[in-house]
Amino acid sequence: MQKFTTSPVTPKCFHCGEDCNEEVLHAYDKDFCCGGCQMVFEILNRNGMCDYYSISTNPGTSRKIKVREDKFSFLDDAKICSSLVVFSNDSQTHISFYTPQMHCSSCLWLLENLHRLEPGVISSKVNFIKKEVDIVFDQRVTSLRKVAELLTSIGYEPYISFSDLGAKKTTVDVSKIYKLGVAGFCFANIMLMSFPEYLGIDSKEANLLYLFRYANLFLSLPVFFYSASEFYTSAWKSLKHRFLNIDAPIVVAVWVTFARSVYEILSGTGGGYFDSMSGIVFFMLAGRVLQEKTYRQLSFERDYTAYFPIAVTKINNEQPQTVALPDIQLNDTLLIHNEELIPADGIITRGKALIDYSFVTGESLPVMKEMGEIVYAGGKQTGANIEILVIKEVAQSYLTKLWNRKAETNKHDEERSFVHLLSRYFTIILFSIAAFTATWWFFTNASLMWNAVTAVLIVACPCALLLSNTFTNANILRRLGRNHLYLRNAQVIEDLAAADCIVFDKTGTLTTGRYQDMVYEGEPLSIHQKHAIGALAAQSNHPLSKAIAAWAGNTNGQMISGFTETPGKGIEGIVAGDLIALGSAFFITQKRTAGNDTSVVFVSIEEKVYGHFKFQNHYRDAIPELLQRLAKQYPLAVISGDNAGEQKYLRQLLGYEAILLFNQQPADKLEAIRHLQAQGKKVMMIGDGLNDAGALQQADIGIAISENNNNFTPASDAILAASQLPKLDRFIQLSKANKKVVLAAFVISVLYNLVGITFAVQGVLSPMIAAILMPCSSISILFITYGMSNYFGHRFRLK
Amino acid sequence: MSVIIILLIASISVAALFLAAFIWSVKNGQYEDEVAPAVRILFDDATLVSAQKTNLSTEDTGGQKK
Amino acid sequence: MQVEKFYYDNKTVKLFAYATIVWGVVGMLAGLLISVQIYLPAANFGLPITTFGRVRPVHTNAVIFAFVGNGIFMGVYYSLQRLCKARMLNDTLSKIHFWGWQLIIVSAAVTLLAGYTTGKEYAELEWPIDIAITLIWVLFGINMFGTILKRRESHLYVAIWFYIATWVTVAMLHIVNSFEIPFSFMKSYSWYAGVQDALVQWWYGHNAVAFFLTTPYLGIMYYFLPKAANRPVYSYRLSIIHFWALIFIYIWAGPHHLLYTALPDWAQSLGTVFSIMLIAPSWGGMLNGLFTLRGAWDKVREDPILKFMVVAITCYGMATFEGPMLSLKNVNAISHFTDWTIAHVHVGALGWNGFLTFAILYWIIPKIFNTPLYSKKLATTHFWIGTLGIVLYAIPMYWAGFTQAMMWKQFTPEGTLQFQFLETVTHIIPLYVTRSLGGLLYLAGVFVMVYNIIKTVKAGSLLANEAAEAPALPKEPVTHGKQYWHRWIEARPVQMLVLSLVAVAIGGILELVPTFLIKSNIPTIASVKPYTPLELHGRDIYVKEGCYLCHSQMVRPFRDEVARYGEYSKAGEFIYDHPFQWGSKRTGPDLARIGGKYPDSWHYNHMLEPQSMSPGSIMPSYAWMLDDAIDTALTPAKIRAMQTLGVPYPKGFDKLANADLMAQANRIRINLESDKIKTGANKEIIALIAYLQRVGTDIKVQPKPLAEK
């Protein structure tokens, strides 16, 4: 309804900086948008912690949506407690909370000064990247629940979900970093001690020379046995899959270099090439590490458990009691509070449900449910409390089934990259050349054979290819990340480029889920009538009624009599002597029109139909342009769980060949994707809600749209900030460029190799030159890839 | 130039020392959060000063403060 | 109740701050004095202790170890406490550290002026002081690591890493470079000889710059810049990479100070290679610093502290770019031995170290005295005067260096050198004058600061113990449930301390190495013989008066140098030189081939009144050498010391040494008498002449040296 609200003069809330729309609280000569915000301020002020506001302005998060009193009562449950706690002894407990509201330095400061608000807190430490706060508290003084409520009271309501019950913290694997460090250290010093040889150390200092050589040998061991193991394992894995990935030739090169170097040094015939060996290992590891930089603050693996509350209130012979989600059984009676998710399919046994399925099914409007009707898990109750009788266990629920399909679509990334295909041919050719050289020299001059062969193998190491690939990926990932498109891993770049068909979800993806644009069509209404209608609408808490009431503006002092509400149909009542009715076409006109369009509300005054209010989805900015641009290059499709209200509009946007499907159940969406894939299409699915989860999984690449910083997105290959969606086409272009860059770099490196090999096979290329050539070529490759990828980045205006 | 041996031993032992330090710092998770530490140093002394300041400003500080 | 209350120790910080200012003024005054002497030799007042050769080490040592040194400690003691959320480990240690360090500085100043010097640049201090430095440094280490151990903040901010690196490396450098064998209470000879001594010295010399003037200040920058700008550093990850990259490369850049010298080529090139590599991390640091201020330039406009910092960081960037350039052989061929080097180091010293120190002083003093700075305007004035000073200093010196190098290499069409050395000097004297002016301005700025700070201090009152509170470090796992988490935290810094001591111990073990060092000193040029006792005395006088500070003893293999001085220097010539005297600057001509060039009487008169021999010379008079006598009592000790270092004097020569000495002395005396110069045989001048007449003559004995290097 923001359409009507934003007037320039609305004061900003001192706490959260939002406009104070409904009410302006004025206290401590400051404005607050809601009691919540004011309360936070009071707490901080009382404890002399107003630095919170000086560190950055309006640091708070809006508290308009009240948090239920006993929301965290489940934390009193010992079983749940113990499953959440990281560590505990008799004097202190360690807990780690996920607080998505955390966003600025003030948050950091406040969250690390909790001990000044609550004596029981011993210390609190923020991990800003993970948006987690690790709290140590003395359970003799305070309790887990108290701590959670403290956080809530200052505006950082911890997000505790069903998935925390498993409490398996994902720790990042740092072994690569160690390997990198070791390789770096050895590389630097080996280089240091190899230079004297290159720089022509005097023959009179032979003793030094030998010292250097053996020191190098010694230093190279950790690189060979530890750092390089990264590649051994990966090569071995792929070999077991009867597949030759890029690491195989790398390993060969490393081994050959090492073996030959050891031989040379022990036999005193040369200095070996440990510098190039360790250098290559170092750079390739660096590439891997960079490329695998993961966005720890995001989770690409969310399943439904992340959305479900960890515990719910169960009515046990009239007594509410907290139970952990897994303990819910059939025929339990659950008490569902306002704004709470329905954890399991059930039948309403008490109260009137107004359930918002937008997240589950994509329907933009909440649906009324009467006692006796079935409600599905995942819907969110808005309004008064209701009670439901569980008819399916959580794991069996309609929605959770979606996730069980997961298994079918497991993509093992390693193998798919075109890099590996390239390297396969590369390797085959390389080995044949080596073999040829060997035989040739064997018959001409056997003494030179090994020299030539090893030189070939060393100089032809495809490290350049791997380097260019990893570093380009890393750079592209970085750029996309800066534009708030976060990819699960490097492979996704290629998938992004490869997709040849784009499927959109409507609600929440193309449109902003929440807001609706409302227009009135029909006979003009007098101010008087307008207010009357508003007054009537104000009686109902159906979102459409609310919208109309807001549109009508001030409606006080209107006498209403005989108000009746027919759920799902409409309302009527007598305002200032006129009988006014609002509702569906059928309710008002008694005529069965074709598609009973739920997004149209008719109005009649004294039985006379005046006109209707039309509700339209509010499309995100610049989306139409995006769709038109994409329609030129890709077959597009919109698969919506919502009604067909938007069909006409979308059709003219996307053109006639575009596929438009409405009223799609999540399962249907998944099927639709399958169907497209069956036609040999590589499908890119872009959606936001749980209802898209299955489809996102099924698609060759699923991009989840995330509205705000607390990214509750379904499992997907990529997460995109809603505001950045219009850049989608440019993102795709960039990822296509990625392949170009790598290929270009590869061609160049092949040229290097060809030159090198031509000399090597003739045995004129001394392995030393080869060893120098290799790192040089690799490093030049790095610069090329970096430069090119940046160039494309600029070209597609992605900073 | 055999003196370079001394320099080598000295330098490399120091380098090794720092390698150990590096491995420790990674293992210890020193670099898990690259945002907070940079921000954190900006706070340190702010806290107490303000505490004193507001002790004067607000009437009831007793109860909650330790 | 869980929160621990504690107090930051500001008293020590204050003391170090004061020391920084005082020694800064002293060091700069010394610099100013000697800069004047260059064009006004009389400015040495005819006294040994005010003559360039002795004041110059005072200047360098005062600026590096007193001014910057105390600056470092000020910064570390202030920031470390706050970064660790803990008071320094032990107040007594802090006290000892402070007073000990000041004591070292004073004794350094006194001994240097008295002429006690090892003759190795930036390591001139004699052995007792070297030991004192080691002790105090270890105490500082204990204090620092102790604080790190009892910290209340689990994360070690990048600045702390820089501090740790500084401590460890400086300890190692100091120990390795200070191997020396004492032969008297205040005198010693370097363990190493000639080329090897040179290598060690410049490996140290460069790293002294790297780890005393750079890493600690980078740490300080990473703390105070964000504080002053009140915004986090541009990229914390970059700062971490910056640190680790720097650490692994810096150590090896040393040899670039010896390009074209008798040092083996491969060692020279090694220095070059690593110096070039240094650009990357250095600039990483600089950009990180500057980017931190991006979007805050409005702040910079009104805040003098930020102004100082911006210039400081820029200068750091310039110096770290110029350094590697200078280490390129062809550039170095021009720049080396000229004032270019002087300009280079002063951009670093005045700009990077000086300005950053001032910024920190302006920031810390008001903080610990709990009062605003007396006058922002004065600070800004200081900034502008200082900047102007730097410009007036650097530009003339670059100019002078380049011009002089060009003139040195200038040949006439006939193929003879176009300019006498003296001409090349007199030509650039105006630039020397401007330089002094720049220095004067810079110093004036400092006085403005002194006034400003005194006023500030008067206005406020020292917050000797600043209250702070922080929760103790949790003793049990916090994240990723590592059970041994806390043991890591506690064990590792200890371990690092231990390991660093091991590194130092290795240095100690290496004291056994000299035996094989000496083996590698076997004469490669048959005709090179040890110095006679008299020459040894003469050489010690040469070192004592700091001749090496203006005269090199290293003819590089260039056409002009060979034409000007003679046969280029060979490594084999220096095997008995403890310490080496190659020098790093040619304010006067090279002396590697001075031996036998002039008659004894020439040297006598030249020392008495240089201008009489070479009109227009800027060399001061060393008249006192004509009166002072050498201490022959020390001769046996000197000989014995040399013998232990492997100099092949015959057994028991120490007994006969003085007889030999007197014999040679008399020959020279008589020789002088023949030129109507009357003097005692035991005068310093005699010994000096003996030495000068010997320098570089050995290889002349045989026409062509067979083996070199």
Q: Are the beta carbons of B26 and A177 separated by less than 8 Å?
A: yes
Is A561 near chain B, with CB under 8 Å?
no
Between the two ends of chain B, the Cα-to-Cα distance in Å is 67
Q: What CA–CA distance (Å, rounded) separates A263 from A275? A: 15
- Average pLDDT score over chain B: 65
| Chain B with chain C: Cβ pairs closer than 8 A | 131
Q: Are the beta carbons of C267 and A196 separated by less than 8 Å?
A: yes
Q: What CA–CA distance (Å, rounded) separates A97 from A95? A: 6
A203 vs C575, which has greater pLDDT? C575
Beta-carbon count within 10 A of B53 CB:
13
ipTM: 0.77
- Average pLDDT score over chain C: 86
Q: Are the beta carbons of B13 and C502 separated by less than 8 Å?
A: yes
Residue from A219, A342, A234, A329 nearest A278 by CA: A219
Highest averaged pLDDT of the listed ranges A172-181, A513-522, A599-608, C18-27:
C18-27
- pLDDT for C490 equals 46
Shortest distance, CA B33 to any CA of chain C (angstroms)? 9
Lowest mean pLDDT among A603-612, A784-793, B55-64, C236-245: B55-64
pLDDT at C512 over 60: no
Is C484 near chain A, with CB under 8 Å?
no
Q: Which two tokens stand for residue C151?
A: 């910290």
Q: What CA–CA distance (Å, rounded) separates A316 from A658? A: 53
C566 vs A710, which has greater pLDDT? C566
Q: Are the beta carbons of B27 and C169 separated by less than 8 Å?
A: no
Q: Side by side, which strands form the sheet with A367-369?
A: A340-341, A380-381, A353-356, A367-369
Q: Are the beta carbons of C270 and A169 separated by less than 8 Å?
A: no
For testing contact with chain A, the best of B40, B59, B61, B66 (most A CBs within 10 A): B40
**Do strands A701-706 and A718-721 pair parallel, antiparallel, or not at all (unpaired)?**
parallel
Q: Which residues contact C430 (CB under 8 A, 6 or more apart)?
A: none
Q: Which pLDDT band holds residue B53 (cuts at 50, 70, 90)? A: very low
C22 vs A413, which has greater pLDDT? C22
Q: Do the beta carbons of residue C661 and residue C636 sit within 8 Å?
A: no
Q: Which two tokens stand for residue A250?
A: 């790398």
Q: Which pLDDT band holds residue C592 (cuts at 50, 70, 90)? A: very high
Residue-wise pLDDT tens digits, A765-778:
665 566 566 667 77
Instruction: Chain B: list its partners (3+ Cβ pairs within 8 Å).
Output: A, C
Q: Are the beta carbons of B47 and C507 separated by less than 8 Å?
A: no
Is C480 near chain A, with CB under 8 Å?
yes
Region A510-515: mean pLDDT is 68
Lowest mean pLDDT among A395-399, C391-395, C513-517: C513-517
Q: Are the beta carbons of A123 and C473 separated by less than 8 Å?
A: yes
- Which residue in A48, A127, A130 is closest to B61 by CB distance? A48
Residue-wise pLDDT tens digits, C288-306:
999 998 878 888 888 999 9
Q: Which residues contact A112 (CB under 8 A, 6 or more apart)?
A: A124, A125, A126, B40, B43
pLDDT at C320 over 50: yes
Shortest distance, CA B42 to any CA of chain C (angstroms)? 6
| Chain A with chain C: Cβ pairs closer than 8 A | 77
Catalogue the E-assigned strands of A232-385.
311-316, 319-324, 333-336, 340-341, 346-350, 353-356, 367-369, 374-375, 380-381
Residue-wise pLDDT tens digits, A612-643:
887 777 788 888 888 888 888 888 888 887 77
Region A60-71: mean pLDDT is 68
Is B8 near chain C, with CB under 8 Å?
no
**Do strands A30-32 and A25-27 pair parallel, antiparallel, or not at all (unpaired)?**
antiparallel
Which residues of chain A neighbour B64 with C-beta distances below 8 Å?
46-47, 117
Q: What is the DSSP letter of A223?
A: I
Is B49 near chain C, with CB under 8 Å?
no
Q: Are the beta carbons of B23 and A208 separated by less than 8 Å?
A: no
Which residues of chain A neighbour C235 with C-beta distances below 8 Å?
none
Which residues of chain B neighbour A182 with C-beta distances below 8 Å?
19
Which residues of chain B neighbour A150 with C-beta distances below 8 Å?
none
Which residues of chain C neighbour A92 with C-beta distances below 8 Å?
474, 476
Q: What is the DSSP letter of C65?
A: I
What are C683's strand-pairing partners?
Answer: C629
Q: Are the beta carbons of C481 and A169 separated by less than 8 Å?
A: yes
Residue-wise pLDDT tens digits, A268-303:
877 788 888 888 888 888 888 887 766 655 666 666
For testing contact with chain C, the best of A125, A138, A194 (most C CBs within 10 A): A125
- pLDDT for C534 equals 94
Distances (CA, A) of A262 to A209, A229, A266, A760: 15, 18, 6, 20
Instruction: Chain A: list its partners (3+ Cβ pairs within 8 Å).
Output: B, C
A750 vs C38, which has greater pLDDT? C38
Query: Amino acid identity of A44?
Result: L
Q: Which residue of B has its CA nearest to C194?
A: B1
Question: C265-292 vs A175-198: helix axis angle to the nearest 10?
Answer: 140
Distances (CA, A) of C607 to C115, C272, C626, C667: 17, 39, 8, 19
Q: Which residue of C has its CA nearest to A55?
A: C230
pLDDT at A406 over 70: no
- pLDDT for A361 equals 63
- pLDDT for A65 equals 63
> What DSSP element (H or E) covers C311?
helix C304-326
Lowest mean pLDDT among A7-16, B6-15, C487-496: C487-496
Which residues of chain A neighbour B39 with C-beta distances below 8 Å?
105, 108, 128
Q: Which two tokens stand for residue A390?
A: 């569980």
Query: Amino acid identity of A199?
Result: L
Q: Over pLDDT 90: what percentage of chain A? A: 1
Q: Do the beta carbons of residue A709 and residue A103 sit within 8 Å?
A: yes
Shortest distance, CA C3 to any CA of chain A (angstroms)? 7
Residue from A639, A648, A653, A732 nearest A689 by CA: A639
- DSSP letter for each residue of A70-92: GGGGGGG-HHHHHHH-SEE-SS-
pLDDT at C492 over 70: no
Catalogue the E-assigned strands of C152-280.
180-182, 188-190
Is A189 near chain B, with CB under 8 Å?
yes
Which residues of chain C neighbour B47 with C-beta distances below 8 Å?
468-469
Q: Which residues contact C188 (CB under 8 A, 6 or more apart)?
A: C118, C126, C127, C180, C181, C182, C641
Which residues of chain C neighbour B20 with C-beta distances below 8 Å?
495-496, 499
Which residues of chain B neighbour C503 with C-beta distances below 8 Å?
10, 13-14, 17
Q: Which pLDDT band holds residue A408 (cuts at 50, 70, 90)? A: very low
Q: Which residues contact C513 (CB under 8 A, 6 or more apart)?
A: B5, B6
pLDDT at A241 over 80: no
Is C634 near chain B, with CB under 8 Å?
no
> What DSSP element (H or E) covers C273?
helix C265-292
Q: Which pLDDT band holds residue C488 (cuts at 50, 70, 90)? A: very low
Q: Do the beta carbons of residue A785 and residue A471 sit within 8 Å?
A: yes
Q: Which of residues 542-601 of C touch B (CB under 8 A)?
A: none
Which residues of chain B neighbour A174 with C-beta distances below 8 Å?
26-27
Instruction: Chain C: list its partners (3+ Cβ pairs within 8 Å).
Output: A, B
Q: Over pLDDT 70: what percentage of chain A? A: 83
Highest averaged pLDDT of the listed ranges A84-88, A621-625, C606-610:
C606-610
What are A435's strand-pairing partners?
Answer: none
Lowest mean pLDDT among A60-64, A558-562, C171-175: A60-64
Calculate the CA A710 to chain-centre distance.
10
C50 vs A765, which has greater pLDDT? C50
Q: Are the beta carbons of C2 and A122 separated by less than 8 Å?
A: yes
What are A87's strand-pairing partners?
Answer: A94
Q: Which pLDDT band holds residue A484 (cuts at 50, 70, 90)? A: confident
Interior CA angle at A541 toward A539 and A547, to 5°? 90
- pLDDT for C93 equals 94
**Do strands A659-661 and A636-639 pair parallel, antiparallel, or not at all (unpaired)?**
parallel
For testing contact with chain B, the best of A41, A109, A121, A131 (most B CBs within 10 A): A109
Q: Radius of gyration of chain B from Cα atoms?
A: 24
Lowest mean pLDDT among A385-399, A727-741, C28-42, C132-146: A385-399
For testing contact with chain B, the best of C82, C269, C492 (most B CBs within 10 A): C492
pLDDT at B48 over 80: no
Residue-wise pLDDT tens digits, C99-158:
999 999 999 999 999 999 998 888 899 999 999 999 999 999 999 999 999 888 888 999
- pLDDT for C516 equals 45
C694 vs C241, which has greater pLDDT? C694
- Which residue in C269, C473, C478 is closest to A94 by CB distance? C478
Backbone angles phi and psi of A732, in degrees to 5: -60, -45
Q: What CA–CA distance (Å, rounded) separates A680 from A674? A: 10
- DSSP letter for each residue of C390-458: HHHHHHHHHHHHHHHHHHHT-B-TTSSBSS-HHHHHHHTHHHHHHHHHHHHHHHHHHHHHHHHHHHHHH
Is A439 near chain B, with CB under 8 Å?
no
pLDDT at A753 over 50: yes
Highest averaged pLDDT of the listed ranges A171-175, C1-5, C589-593:
C589-593
pLDDT at C570 over 70: yes
- Which residue in B1, B26, B35 is closest to A129 by CB distance? B35
- ω into residue C474 within 30 of 0, thus cis? no
Q: Over pLDDT 90: what percentage of chain C? A: 57
Q: Which two tokens stand for residue C169?
A: 């490396």
Q: What CA–CA distance (Å, rounded) separates B7 from A189? A: 12
- pLDDT for A294 equals 60
Q: What CA–CA distance (Å, rounded) separates C196 from C521? A: 9
Region C189-207: mean pLDDT is 84
Which residues of chain B neighbour A172 with C-beta distances below 8 Å?
32
pLDDT at A2 over 50: no
pLDDT at A312 over 50: yes
Region C686-705: mean pLDDT is 80
Q: Which two tokens stand for residue A434?
A: 């080596």
Which residues of chain B neighbour C267 with C-beta distances below 8 Å?
1, 4
- C167, with CB counted inside 10 A (0-12, 13-18, 19+), is buried
- pLDDT for C493 equals 53
Q: What CA–CA distance (Å, rounded) separates C74 from C57? A: 24
